[in-house]
A and B are shown apart, each in its own frame.
Chain A
Amino acid sequence: MRYRNSFASRFLSVFGVILALLAFNATASAETLRVSEEGRRAISPEIAIGPDGAINVIWLDKGLTADRPPPKPRKPGEHSHLSSTDLYFARSEDGGKSWSKPVRVNDADGEVWGFSVSKPRIEVGPAGTIHVFYPANDRSADLDKDIVSARYRRSTDNGKSFSAPITMNRPVLKDREDVLGEGLAATNSFGTMGVAPDGTVIAAWQNVSTMRDSADGADAIVVVSTDDGKSFSEEIMAVKGNRVCPCCQLTLAFSKDAALMGMRYLFEDGRDSQLVRSTDGGRSFDMAGRLDLDPWPIDGCPLKPTEMAVSGDVVYAATYTGGEDPAGLYFTVSTDGGNTFSGKQQVHAAAAIADAPALTADSSGNVRLVWHAKTDAGRRLYTSTSTDQGKSLSAPVEVATPAGKSMHPASAVAADGSVYVTWEQENEEVFVTKLPSPLAKLSSR
């Protein structure tokens, strides 16, 4: 019996691998490629498409696959939320058919702090400048303690090289190890960056220095560049009062005349998705709308961003919430520029868990939502579309990706309406694929 089980197991394993390979080869488009280097640990990708149509991807690199474990000795600049990674960049100028050799963005080894729930950000401005924003392992000279700083670099040569880093936050003078935990005096993290249609660069992050205890929220801080990233303003307090969930990454999206920032806000009845809006180029923010989701009262770390896409005055949003019954990934729409939301829809009711949404909308308001979900075993990527301004979402369709787990997608829409998706593949590899415009049909698997 033991032999038969073992033989059957081996046969099924080999057969399964062959089937999986055949399935992938049969359904993957020519543009489905690994962009991270073989043998390196790559996670948390982000993607941006510039005005020239080139596709730009960044990700966190955790070193050689062959080196994991063993545990590493602690280095200055690391801390209890340990993340000591490098930031890599690759670019495709032929619609994802081929990719440049990955370039390391940071100079100092292990400079970058980040996880799949606190990703680095990349955007391309109207002049083609590539803007990169990331949390960095840093040291407060005043406190002689580890901190996390908000950093920025730019490339004006299509990603061949990147500028020296700009640390955007003020020097840290207040030690908040009591709130953050062992060895970490301050964080300027869980942030985001966006580029407005006029080229204004806005970066935002969370400052925890005024938190009274771990049940409190952070403040949201913004800096603005009006010279294509050459310089940034002083810190601007965008949302104060310790109401921003400090472990849920901020998001930014732009309408014609406003910047919208998405966050999880600490309301009296729940820790829920809220937008704030700036109509003066990021110099001030006012409260906009709360997503029309039932309150999620939780004193913990949801690790859930509020994803957005904007087309005209229509704001599309997607997030996971535990407040709804059933809990899950929900999609909702605002037709008044983010003031009010209605029409919430659960995205993937059949999944055991659906999360990590990535949302795009083209100039005509055609929406593509991509997320990861578990229906049987590991997480896989799924997609839905809306071509009626978010009134309805198509049924979930699995995205053709290599066998194994596919997770934490990010997406960007091209001028022709097609959508490029990057994600973290099992065994820590970063891939990119191309999905058709929402107006085209995606065959069901």
Chain B
Amino acid sequence: MRAALQTFAAVTLLAASHGIWAADGDARLTAIDANGLRVALETVQADRDAVVLVNFWATWCKPCLEEIPLFMELQKTYGPQGFKLVAVSLDEIETLESTVKPFMQKWFPEFRSYISTEYDMDDIVSVVDNGWNEVLPTSYLFARDGTLAERLQGKYSAAEFSSKVDALLNP
């Protein structure tokens, strides 16, 4: 089962990198639960060259939305060097069709993100942080060896993100 999930996650991520992500035909959002995120992160971090930024956001968190363009720039700039972004929306899954998909389509059509299916936000964030304080935005920056380098809370600037990612990619 675990192997199957890992394979599925790998295929999903591979598909995502080619812009054909998501089983329901939408290229922007993939529903994911805590176990799915755990497997997805294991798969991403299996690549020991990757510096991974896990970002939790929501459409109702304006500072979160201001970070999204920065993440897309980070992917463009540092993706070839091994930077990987795992974004997870904490909007309620019931709002997927009514709110989140239209929102993404309107404002960030190129952005790829998971959306949590957990009813308690803490359930999915706990995959990376058992002591999450329910602040948004929250991002977790992992070094190439998979260790947590930094928890980032509140909005950060492009320069701050670049500096932190660059330092991990080019120590």
A72 & B119 in contact (Cβ 8 Å cutoff): no
B59 & A182 in contact (Cβ 8 Å cutoff): yes
B133 & A322 in contact (Cβ 8 Å cutoff): yes
A300 & B61 in contact (Cβ 8 Å cutoff): yes
Q: Chain A residues near B61 (CB, 8 Å)?
A: 300-301
Q: Chain A residues near B88 (CB, 8 Å)?
A: none
How distant is the Cα of A68 from the Cα of B130 in the complex, in angstroms? 26
B136 near A: Cβ within 8 Å?
yes
1/0 per residue, CB under 8 A from A, across B120-149: the answer is 101000000011111111100000000000
CB distance from B50 to the nearest CB of A (A): 26
Q: Chain B residues near A72 (CB, 8 Å)?
A: 94, 98
- Residue in A closest to B59 when the chains form the complex, CB atoms: A80
A300 & B99 in contact (Cβ 8 Å cutoff): no
- Residue in B closest to A356 when the chains form the complex, CB atoms: B134
B residues whose Cβ falls under 8 Å from a Cβ of A: 59-66, 91-99, 102-103, 106-107, 119-120, 122, 130-138, 153-155
A299 & B94 in contact (Cβ 8 Å cutoff): no
How distant is the Cα of A355 from the Cα of B122 in the complex, in angstroms? 12
A302 & B103 in contact (Cβ 8 Å cutoff): no
Which has the most chain B C-beta neighbours within 10 Å: A72, A80, A322, A379?
A80
Query: Pick the contact of A82 from B95, B119, B138 — CB < 8 Å?
Result: B95
How distant is the Cα of A303 from the Cα of B59 in the complex, in angstroms? 15
- Residue in A closest to B98 when the chains form the complex, CB atoms: A74
Query: Pick the contact of B65 from A181, A374, A378 — CB < 8 Å?
Result: A181
- What are 18 A-to-B residue pairs whose CB atoms are below 8 Å? A68-B94, A68-B119, A70-B94, A71-B96, A72-B98, A74-B98, A78-B98, A80-B95, A80-B103, A82-B99, A214-B66, A300-B63, A301-B136, A302-B135, A322-B153, A353-B130, A353-B132, A353-B133
CB distance from A322 to the nearest CB of B (A): 6
Q: Chain A residues near B60 (CB, 8 Å)?
A: 80-81, 181
Query: Pick the contact of B98 from A82, A180, A214, A320 — CB < 8 Å?
Result: A82
Which has the most chain B C-beta neighbours within 10 Å: A69, A72, A117, A302?
A69
How distant is the Cα of A389 from the Cα of B68 in the complex, in angstroms? 47
1/0 per residue, CB under 8 A from B, across A71-99: the answer is 11110001111100000000000000000
Q: Chain A residues near B134 (CB, 8 Å)?
A: 117, 303, 355
CB distance from B12 to the nearest CB of A (A): 20
Given contacts A69-B93, A80-B59, A379-B122, is CB(A300)–CB(B137) below 8 Å?
yes
Q: Chain B residues near A180 (CB, 8 Å)?
A: 62
B98 & A73 in contact (Cβ 8 Å cutoff): yes
B155 & A299 in contact (Cβ 8 Å cutoff): yes
